[in-house]
Structure 1
Amino acid sequence: MPKLDRRLFLKGAALIGCSAAAHPLMNSMTFAALPGENRLVVIILRGAMDGLDAIQPYGDPMLGKLRRSLSVGPEGGALDLDGFYALHPRLELLLPLWQRGELAFAHAVSTPYRDKRSHFDGQDLLEAGTGNDLPVDWRVGGWLNRLLQATPGAAAETAYAVGVEQMRILAGKAAHLSWAPRASLKLSPQAQMLLEHVYHDDPLFRAAAQDAVQISGETTDIGRNPGPTADAEALAAFAASRLNAESRIAAFSIPGWDSHANQHAVLGRGLDRLAAAILKLREGLGPNWGRTAVLAMTEFGRTVRENGSGGTDHGTGGALLMAGGAIRGGRAFGDWPGLGEGQLYAGRDLMPVRDIRAYAAWAMHGLFGIGQDRLERTIFPGLDLGGDPAMLA
């Protein structure tokens, strides 16, 4: 049976401008045990979530002018948060968390990655936690692995990589175990059409794509679909069970955010899965939710202007979503750079105002007592932490 791998898929995916890094087959989980009772969950949103749509800064008048077919603000069905920002209607289930102070966000964040806008490179930088020195040298490991090496009392033998492809966020010298659960991979109808389109004229790759669809066990028959959020909920439930035991850090990914076309549907499905995962974490963690911070991070944002296909293209500044009882929620963190003339990065993207690594670092400082010098030099080399955003309750 032909094998569909990351390298081969990239060749075909380049035909339509999408990276295999945004492909729904790529998923994994990692866990780590540290001293104490606080917990951190990192959710990697693979494919570049459009933060300007997920959490809409409708109070900036330029947003509506630059996005005429995408819904903007309460008039477009979004849920007002504070008179300036509004929550995408597909995140409505998370609104009670905002009202209880368990949901927050930071706009205009990014890694140091700039200009090339490659999913693979952007995700590598996000998981490596290093500066813009591509290609990433994985011999130094991902930032979670460096955290294990730098933290006294960390139980490296209880760090796991779970799934079909190990997340590089845990790559490195600190020992970890791997486990592949007996769970089928799910391909959405959109992903099936993507594979069919990419490999239609290539018999070898077409056969591999058909095999991938067959392996996924999912068809367009709604009656056979276990539910669009089932996989995300399963990942979150398993993460909660580990966090209720010895683990204190969990990381997993939710793919499928590359919304070059038909963003309304693509982003909506992604937000459904993200909301379901966060709520399942809250349910599964029970009392431990109050000691948990969840950071949902993406490799980069998307263009401010919509394109001609009802979508948005690869950008720079994005959004970080935060949840959990340990989060000082019900508010937006960071400065808003504006969308007016001269305020955009490269004349097209939301201008980054803060390194997304700083939020992860301040979370680890507050949750686990990791020193600032260690965070800037060892775990996130080259990071300027800047002032404490006071994101933890």
Structure 2
Amino acid sequence: MSSRPPASPSRRRFLAGGLALGCSAAASPLVTPIALASAPWDNRLVVVILRGAMDGLDAIRPVGDPDYAALGREVEDGPPGDGFWARHPALAPLDPLWAAGEMAAAHAVSTPYRDRRSHFDGQDLLEAGGTDLGPASARSGWLNRLIETVPGTTAEIAYAVGRERMAILDGPAAAARWSPDARLALSPATQQLLELVQHEDPAFRDASREAIAIAAEVAGQEAPEAGEDRRGAHVQLARFAAGRLRAETRIASFSLSGWDTHARQSQGIGVALGRLADVVLTLREGLGPVWEKTAVLCVTEFGRTARLNGSGGSDHGTGGAMLLAGGALRGGRVVADWPGLSEAALYDRRDLMPTRDVRAHAGWVMRGLFGLDAGTVESAVFPGLDLGPDPRWTL
């Protein structure tokens, strides 16, 4: 793993002092400390929240189930599967990762959330990682509790990336946050100050330039010195996360929206899955050799109805799928205790029946990556969880 040069005195003063740099601390990504901390383990974990409820039956299609086509679902040929499973065509760019065992899925999964099917409550429970929501004042995120289990860590071991609040990292354990803010505007005097501070610290200079570029991209502005490399904000966020993880950060989390496909799902989910493929490939490229030590979990608040509605979309459901990626995985497969899609087998006769807790798959990945014992996962990280049998996700 490459090492970062030691921070210069000017850089330490800059970070410690929290200079306003012409804008508020809440608005500027530049006052978020970017000096990163070491951790007692070398593996990395990335959690991507797919906000809006990804339709797992469309992303990872159980075409071998005799009741699948009767639900009005797409049965066109997608990327190669194993006869029972087929992947949505928008995931085709990830075919080499499936072939290399660096991409996988878990199907018929959900959090303990049931019946109300509210995005807000579903996302809260997904990020809290418990069995029920309870009072908001008592909640913490499961990634924050993971950090609490490891002595001697500091805030920059974990990064919440993006403009949305990442409740998954909320809690008493310190975690760093970085947000490209559209209101970022640096005066000439501020830019001169940055040049002075960065003069003898190329690592800090490059990181702050990247911060400015991402903020400008998100705002739809022309990024300074961006050249021909201006790409979507989702790719820029993944690139930022990869840069931190390539150094000493061990955990990163951010979210992707666009999964609420009530109408014309064939169009909407294709775009969303294409963005997700971009993100995974960007992480793989940006992490370089660190990819072999990395697991990426892509999770969503709940699934969608098994049958498509009259608008060619799907409504809020229960069971769904999670996607996994990374060189640290034993992938190339779909893991599921498949319940079937007959009306009698559906949850409430409308949704895919969940047969495994999504937290169990996340827990087994963390056990393999970080060496956590089962009791810690089931009590401290995911209270009330029964891990169940080991799906052997990690190498």
What TM-score, normalized to structure 2?
0.77
Query: Which structure's CA Rg is the greater one?
Result: 2
Aligned length: 324
Give 1:141's aligned residue: 140
Give 1:173's aligned residue: 172
- State whether residues 229 and 273 of structure 1, in contact with CA within 8 Å, keep that contact through their aligned partners in structure 2: no
Give 1:308's aligned residue: 310
Give 1:85's aligned residue: 85
Distance 1:292 1:325 in 2: 6
Name the SS of the counterpart of 2:316 in structure 1.
coil
Which residues of 2 match residues 79-158 of structure 1 at below 5 A? 79-131=79-131, 133-158=132-157
Distance 1:97 1:84 in 2: 19
Label 1:177 to 1:95 Cα distance change in 2 as closer, same or farther (>3 A): closer
- State whether residues 46 and 251 of structure 2, in contact with CA within 8 Å, keep that contact through their aligned partners in structure 1: yes
> How far is the alpha carbon of 1:327 from its aligned partner?
0.9
> How far is the alpha carbon of 1:80 from its aligned partner?
2.7
Specify the code of the residue in structure 1 equivalent to 2:387: L
Q: Which of 52, 57, 64 is residue 47 of structure 1 equivalent to?
A: 52
Specify the code of the residue in structure 2 equivalent to 1:71: E
Offset from partner CA, 1:31-61 (integer Å, 9 cap, x none)? 9963221111111000000010011100002
Label 1:157 to 1:53 Cα distance change in 2 as closer, same or farther (>3 A): closer
Specify the code of the residue in structure 2 equivalent to 1:172: G
Give 2:287's aligned residue: 285
In the alignment, structure 2 segments of 5+ residues that lack a partner are: 1-31, 185-216, 222-227
Q: Which of 245, 248, 265 is residue 246 of structure 1 equivalent to?
A: 248
Q: Which of 365, 377, 380 is residue 378 of structure 1 equivalent to?
A: 380
Distance 2:157 2:284 in 1: 22
Name the SS of the counterpart of 2:243 in structure 1.
helix
Distance 2:310 2:183 in 1: 36
Q: Which of 74, 78, 103 is residue 71 of structure 1 equivalent to?
A: 74
Distance 1:227 1:286 in 2: 19
Alignment partner of 1:57 is 2:62: yes
Distance 2:326 2:49 in 1: 16
- State whether residues 304 and 319 of structure 2, in contact with CA within 8 Å, keep that contact through their aligned partners in structure 1: yes
Q: Which moved more, 1:256-265 or 1:329-338?
A: 329-338
Offset from partner CA, 1:328-352 (integer Å, 9 cap, x none)? 1111112111001311000000000
- State whether residues 293 and 324 of structure 1, in contact with CA within 8 Å, keep that contact through their aligned partners in structure 2: yes
Label 1:136 to 1:88 Cα distance change in 2 as closer, same or farther (>3 A): farther
Give 2:326's aligned residue: 324
Distance 1:257 1:343 in 2: 25
Specify the code of the residue in structure 1 equivalent to 2:51: R
Specify the code of the residue in structure 1 equivalent to 2:386: D
> How far is the alpha carbon of 1:138 from its aligned partner?
4.5
Which residues of 2 match residues 190-339 of structure 1 at below 5 A? 230-339=232-341
Distance 2:183 2:339 in 1: 43
Distance 2:175 2:55 in 1: 33
Label 1:333 to 1:229 Cα distance change in 2 as closer, same or farther (>3 A): farther
Q: Which of 37, 42, 54 is residue 37 of structure 1 equivalent to?
A: 42
Distance 2:362 2:37 in 1: 15
Name the SS of the counterpart of 2:344 in structure 1.
coil
> How far is the alpha carbon of 1:306 from its aligned partner?
0.3
> How far is the alpha carbon of 1:272 from its aligned partner?
0.7
Offset from partner CA, 1:269-303 (integer Å, 9 cap, x none)? 10010000000000001111111111100000000
Alignment partner of 1:163 is 2:168: no
Specify the code of the residue in structure 1 equivalent to 2:166: M
Distance 1:284 1:299 in 2: 27
Label 1:286 to 1:360 Cα distance change in 2 as closer, same or farther (>3 A): same
Distance 2:86 2:356 in 1: 21
In the alignment, structure 1 segments of 5+ residues that lack a partner are: 1-28, 186-214, 220-225
Label 1:160 to 1:329 Cα distance change in 2 as closer, same or farther (>3 A): closer
Distance 2:229 2:270 in 1: 14
> How far is the alpha carbon of 1:84 from its aligned partner?
0.6
Give the RMSD, CA atoms, in angstroms: 2.5
Offset from partner CA, 1:230-276 (integer Å, 9 cap, x none)? 11111111111010111111111001100000101110110010000
Specify the code of the residue in structure 1 equivalent to 2:121: D
Distance 1:381 1:316 in 2: 21
**Amino-acid identity (%):** 59
Label 1:367 to 1:32 Cα distance change in 2 as closer, same or farther (>3 A): farther
Give 1:364's aligned residue: 366
> How far is the alpha carbon of 1:216 from its aligned partner?
7.0
What TM-score, normalized to structure 1?
0.78
Name the SS of the counterpart of 2:343 in structure 1.
coil
Distance 2:92 2:183 in 1: 29
Label 1:136 to 1:375 Cα distance change in 2 as closer, same or farther (>3 A): farther
- State whether residues 157 and 250 of structure 2, in contact with CA within 8 Å, keep that contact through their aligned partners in structure 1: no
Label 1:104 to 1:159 Cα distance change in 2 as closer, same or farther (>3 A): closer
Label 1:228 to 1:295 Cα distance change in 2 as closer, same or farther (>3 A): farther
Specify the code of the residue in structure 2 equivalent to 1:161: A
Name the SS of the counterpart of 1:297 in structure 2.
strand
> How far is the alpha carbon of 1:175 from its aligned partner?
1.9
Alignment partner of 1:354 is 2:348: no
Distance 1:134 1:379 in 2: 15
